[in-house]
């Protein structure tokens, strides 16, 4: 009988084989368990990051609302109430008034109308998005070179709430340009189709460092974009202007 055919030898090889299989199974179990634990840990980390991001957006939303309230309060106090007080004084002491009451009244109405338009654009339901943006940008042509390029394949039907959010985004971007960019030219490109809205706003201002930009204005824009389930990005560099691009699909 050959050596390998002896029962003792077969038992040894069988033991080695069984041990190898058990080792392989144990290794696979350990590896699978480690892999599952790592996947669960990464999923928890992603969930935590998403939760932290949502908390940041919520905090920013509250800050944005407070900022808007303060701005409106300042407009009411400095713009409207101050003119009405002067108008009241003028009505009681006309001989010492430098500005005629009708002029003050006209200015007060203008301030009230501007504040009202800021709170809610007029005829939102009836006015299309391109008209809203054009009406908002028109007064800027006195101080800036403004270019508006509109293309639409098919007049889209946009829900009033979606239209308002997009309009607010455009307002915020252009307001940031006016306040911070020191720009001379503003270009607005609006592309409308049945299932997609694309907007690009560019300026020739001083730009900014994208890595260091986390201002409240940008957070406000990101919040609105998230509500619309769209996407956006800023591209800028110091002294090279800024470009803002947003896309919204299946609105």
DSSP 184: S
Span 82-87, average pLDDT: 74
Judged against a pLDDT cut of 70, whether residue 215 lies above it is answered with no
The contacts found for 145-150 with CB under 8 angstroms, 24 or more apart, are 145/184, 145/185, 145/186, 146/185, 146/186, 146/187, 146/188, 147/185, 147/186, 147/187, 147/188, 148/188, 148/190, 149/187, 149/188, 149/189, 149/190, 150/190, 150/192
For the chain, domain boundaries:
1-119, 121-251
Convert the pLDDT of each residue in 139-152 to its tens digit.
888 888 888 888 87
Task: Report the top-level CATH class of 121-251.
Answer: alpha beta
Strands (E), the chain: 145-152, 185-192, 196-203, 231-236, 242-249
Is the pTM above the cut of 0.75? no
Range scoring the smallest mean pLDDT among 43-52, 88-97, 202-211, 219-228: 88-97
Least confident of 115-119, 172-176, 231-235, 246-250: 115-119
Mean pLDDT across the chain: 80
Q: Is the pLDDT of residue 2 over 60?
A: no
pLDDT at position 179, please?
Answer: 85
Predicted confidence (pLDDT) per residue in 156-178, tens digit: 678 888 888 898 899 889 988 98
How is residue 33 written in tokens?
A: 């368990």
Going by pLDDT thresholds of 50, 70 and 90, the confidence category of residue 100 is low
3 pLDDT exceeds 60?
Answer: no
pLDDT above 70 (res 236): yes
pLDDT exceeds 70 at position 1: no
pLDDT at 22 over 80: yes
Q: How many residues does the chain have?
A: 251
């Amino acid at each position: 009988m050959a050596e390998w055919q002896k029962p003792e030898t077969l038992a040894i090889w069988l033991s080695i084989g069984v041990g190898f299989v058990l080792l392989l199974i144990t290794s696979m179990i350990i590896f699978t368990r480690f892999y599952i634990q790592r996947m669960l840990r990464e999923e928890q980390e992603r969930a935590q990051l998403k939760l932290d991001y949502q908390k940041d957006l919520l905090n920013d939303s509250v800050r944005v609302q407070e900022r808007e309230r303060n701005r409106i309060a300042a407009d009411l106090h400095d713009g409207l109430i101050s003119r009405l007080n002067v108008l009241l004084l003028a009505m009681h002491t006309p001989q010492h008034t430098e500005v005629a009451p009708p002029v003050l009244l006209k200015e007060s109405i203008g301030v009230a109308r501007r504040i009202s338009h800021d709170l809610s654009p007029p005829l939102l339901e009836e006015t299309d998005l391109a008209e809203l943006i054009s009406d908002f940008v028109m007064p800027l042509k006195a101080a800036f070179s403004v270019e508006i390029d509109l293309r639409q394949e098919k007049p889209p039907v946009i829900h009033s709430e979606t239209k308002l959010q997009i309009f607010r985004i455009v307002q915020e971007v252009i307001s940031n340009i006016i306040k911070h960019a020191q720009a001379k030219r503003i270009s607005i490109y609006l592309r409308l189709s049945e299932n997609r809205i694309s907007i690009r706003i560019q300026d020739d201002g001083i730009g900014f460092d994208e890595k260091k930009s986390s201002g409240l204005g940008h957070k406000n824009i990101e919040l609105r974009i998230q509500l619309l389930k769209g996407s956006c990005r800023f591209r800028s560099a110091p002294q090279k202007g800024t470009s803002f691009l947003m896309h919204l699909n299946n609105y």
